[in-house]
Amino acid sequence: MDEHVIRNYARADIVFVSGNGAILRDETGREYLDFLSGIGVNSLGHGHPRLVDALREQAARVLHTSNLFRHPFTERVAALLAEATDMQAVFFCNSGTEATEAALKIARKHQRRCGHPERTGFLALEHGFHGRTLGALSVTHHRAYREPFAPLVPGVRFLPAGDAAALQAAFDAEVPAALILEPIQGEGGVRELAHDYLRLARKLCSARGAVLIHDEVQCGAGRTGAFLAGDHADVKPDIATLAKPLAAGLPLGAAVVAAGLADALVPGDHGSTFGGGPLVCRAAEVFLCELRDGLGEHVAARGAQLGDGLHALAAEFPVIAEVRGRGLLRGLRLRHGAPDLQRTLLDNGLITNCTAGDVVRFLPPYVVTAEQTDQALDLLREGLAALPKPDRGKK
């Protein structure tokens, strides 16, 4: 029945029909432990009662009115984001890639407004992922994603992630409109950038007048135990992009902007028909209030439990080369067999995914329980024990 769906995804032949918290049920009634949450999206898990009630109520009132009119929930979510980030103002859109587009455009507009129209280039990092639309793709590193769609936005330079000397040299050569980076590179293999490197990036951007964009689409909005992953390094960007977990399963993206850039966009400069409408913002309001009122501490505790468990497994199984990530964004880099392990886990009822070829990634919902975290670690131990030894003839 899928012959009319474009084959741009490698989909597993499983149909999920319902869920509850971190549990998903397929059409045969089989239950799975969801340690992927729709690639970091279902922050409140499945069937969260407060979220379901709020959406029911909002759906009965009004779904969409356009950005030609004010919405109380849009304004409320913007205020909650400003409070959580200590930043000034928010542009709303529908996805991570659109949040990147907005950030890049705001950066260029800001430079133009500051008398630097010549600053149009962007610095980005190797292993970085920022989305699939043409602008966002231009600052996404993976060549296989970019090459079929060339030519992309000119003036993008990729720097080796974490290399302080290369960063310094790039700024010495030319001041870009913006430097864009993920404090924890998600799709690139759950690689956390060193805090000193993040601080150097902040220092160079401030000193030279470049805009610092933190792409927090995957690592932000509370997933690592702080609202922004950059908070762990005490680094505030000029623009933080958010999306995946923000509306707990509905499509909402945001570019949260610091005070100096908040009026870079004026009416007509940029827009989105659906962005930040009443229904998604109602969901985001529930999520942000839950996060503020105790869920944030729960994430920190479950994140520590998951991290400790993964480190214990790494001590037990030499096939684990590295435990990566923070909070509820974790990765296990394997010496071999990461895709095999992911398939075995799925067969045994644990949903994860494999990224960057050799990393099994865990993005459980924020509401995952301590017991479910232990269950996932047990399933992982079984999966690791069942992993075939590498063929001696091969490397």
Tell the smallest beta-carbon distance from residue 366 to ligand PLP (Å): 17
Q: Write each residue from 131 to 170 as x if it is in contact with ligand PLP (CB under 6 A), else as -, in one continuous string.
A: x---------------------------------------
Instruction: Determine which residue in the list 97, 111, 224, 355 makes contact with ligand PLP, applying CB under 6 A.
Output: 97
130 lines the binding site for ligand PLP (CB under 6 A): yes
Tell the smallest beta-carbon distance from residue 40 to ligand PLP (Å): 7
250 lines the binding site for ligand PLP (CB under 6 A): no
Closer residue to ligand PLP (CB): 218 or 224: 218
Which residues have a Cβ under 8 Å from the Cβ of 40 and sit 6 or more positions away? 186, 218, 223, 244, 245, 329, 363
363 lines the binding site for ligand PLP (CB under 6 A): no
CA atoms within a 13 Å half-sphere pointing along the CA-CB vector of 11? 11
C-alpha–C-alpha distance, residues 330 and 191, integer Å:
9
C-alpha–C-alpha distance, residues 61 and 128, integer Å:
41
Instruction: Determine which residue in the list 22, 181, 193, 243 makes contact with ligand PLP, applying CB under 6 A.
Output: 243
96 lines the binding site for ligand PLP (CB under 6 A): yes
* Residue closest to 90 by CA, chosen among 242, 249, 247, 284: 242
C-alpha–C-alpha distance, residues 252 and 83, integer Å:
18
Tell the smallest beta-carbon distance from residue 314 to ligand PLP (Å): 24
Closer residue to ligand PLP (CB): 58 or 97: 97
Tell the smallest beta-carbon distance from residue 215 to ligand PLP (Å): 5
Closer residue to ligand PLP (CB): 95 or 224: 95
101 lines the binding site for ligand PLP (CB under 6 A): no
Residue 23 β-bridge partners: 20, 33
Both tokens of residue 298? 């729960």
Closer residue to ligand PLP (CB): 127 or 337: 127
Closer residue to ligand PLP (CB): 34 or 182: 182
Q: Write each residue from 180 to 219 as x if it is in contact with ligand PLP (CB under 6 A), else as -, in one continuous string.
A: --x---xx---------------------------x-xx-
User: Considering only residues 308-347, where is the footprint of ligand PLP by CB under 6 A?
Assistant: none
Q: Cβ(32)–Cβ(45) under 8 Å?
A: no
Closer residue to ligand PLP (CB): 45 or 96: 96
C-alpha–C-alpha distance, residues 204 and 165, integer Å:
12
Task: Please give the angle made by the CA atoms of 232, 88 and 290, to the nearest 5 degrees.
Answer: 60
Helix (H, G, I), strand (E, B) or coil at 164: helix
Closer residue to ligand PLP (CB): 23 or 333: 333
Which residues have a Cβ under 8 Å from the Cβ of 252 and sit 6 or more positions away? 92, 93, 94, 243, 246, 276, 280, 281, 283, 284
* Residue closest to 388 by CA, chosen among 315, 311, 320, 336: 336
CA 327 to chain centre: 13
User: Considering only residues 218-237, where is the footprint of ligand PLP by CB under 6 A?
Assistant: 218
How many residues of this chain interact with ligand PLP, rule: CB under 6 A?
A: 14
124 lines the binding site for ligand PLP (CB under 6 A): no
Q: Other CB atoms closer than 10 Å to residue 201's CB: what's the count? A: 27
Chain residues in the site for ligand PLP (CB under 6 A): 95-97, 100, 129-131, 182, 186-187, 215, 217-218, 243
